[in-house]
Chains A and B, each alone.
Chain A
C-alpha cells in the first residue's frame, strides 16, 4: 500500500522568504507524484506533477518540486512567498489511477 508523509502540519513563513514543504512517500514500484493546493473554502487544484524525466518540476505560481528517488521524497519549494500563497498544500501519489494523499501542510504567510 502507498503512504505519503507530510511531516509539517503547519509552516509559518515571513512574506518574501523562501519555503520548503516536505513530502516523503513509500512505494516499492514507480509512482506518479503530485502537489495540490487548497485555498480557504475551496476545492483542490493542481500545482505540479511528476510523471517521469527531469527530476525538477516547475508548477504554477512560482512553485517547483524535486523528485528524489533514493530518498523517496518530493519536496515543494518556492524562493519567495506572497501573502496569496496562504493555503493548505497536499502531496499525493498515484498508483493504479488512485490517489493517496498526505495529511497536508498549512502554509501561513506572515506580513
Chain B
C-alpha cells in the first residue's frame, strides 16, 4: 500500500517556466489537498478537493491551478513560476468528514531561480 505518492522529489525551475507537481493516492480517499511549507510559517493550504470534479481554493491559491479528474490524482500546476513559489509542497488525502486524519506525501522541494 503506497499511500500518498508525490513526484518529483526535487525540482529546479527558472522564473516563468511551468510545471506540474503530481500527487496520487491509493486509499480511495475523497478529500485531497495541497500545502506549501515555508520556514517559520508552518503549512498553508493552497487548494483542496472533496471529490472528483470538485476543487476549491485554500489560504494561498494565487499562482497555482488544480484539477481533479479522478479520485486518485490531484496535480498542482504552476503556470509561470516565480521565486516566491520556492517552497516545499505537500499533498495530503483523507476520507471526508470532520476529524478524519490526513495522510501526507513525502513532499516536493521546489526552487525557482
What residues make up the interface of A, taking CB atoms closer than 8 Å to B? Answer: 4, 6, 9, 32, 34, 36, 42-46, 49, 51, 90, 94, 97-104
Contact = CB atoms under 8 A, between A and B. Distances in A.
Given A97-B50, A98-B48, A103-B42, A43 B106 contact: yes
Interface residues of B, number: 27
Contact of B31 (A4, A9, A97, A103): A97
B99 interface: yes
A9 B42 CA distance: 11
B3 to A, nearest CB: 9
B102 interface: yes
A44 B45 CA distance: 14
Contacts of A42: 106-107
Contacts of A9: 40
A67 B90 CA distance: 27
Contacts of B92: 44
B99 A51 contact: yes
A34 B103 CA distance: 13
A99 B102 contact: yes
Nearest to B96: A97
A46 B40 CA distance: 20
A91 B7 CA distance: 26
Interface in B48-107: 48, 50, 58-59, 90, 92, 96-102, 104-107
26 contacts: A4-B42, A6-B42, A32-B99, A43-B4, A43-B105, A44-B43, A44-B92, A45-B104, A46-B102, A51-B98, A97-B31, A97-B48, A97-B50, A97-B96, A97-B97, A97-B100, A98-B45, A98-B48, A99-B33, A99-B45, A99-B102, A101-B35, A101-B43, A101-B44, A102-B42, A104-B40
A32 B98 contact: yes
**Could you say which of A94, A97, A99, A102 has the most chain B C-beta atoms within 10 Å of its C-beta?**
A97
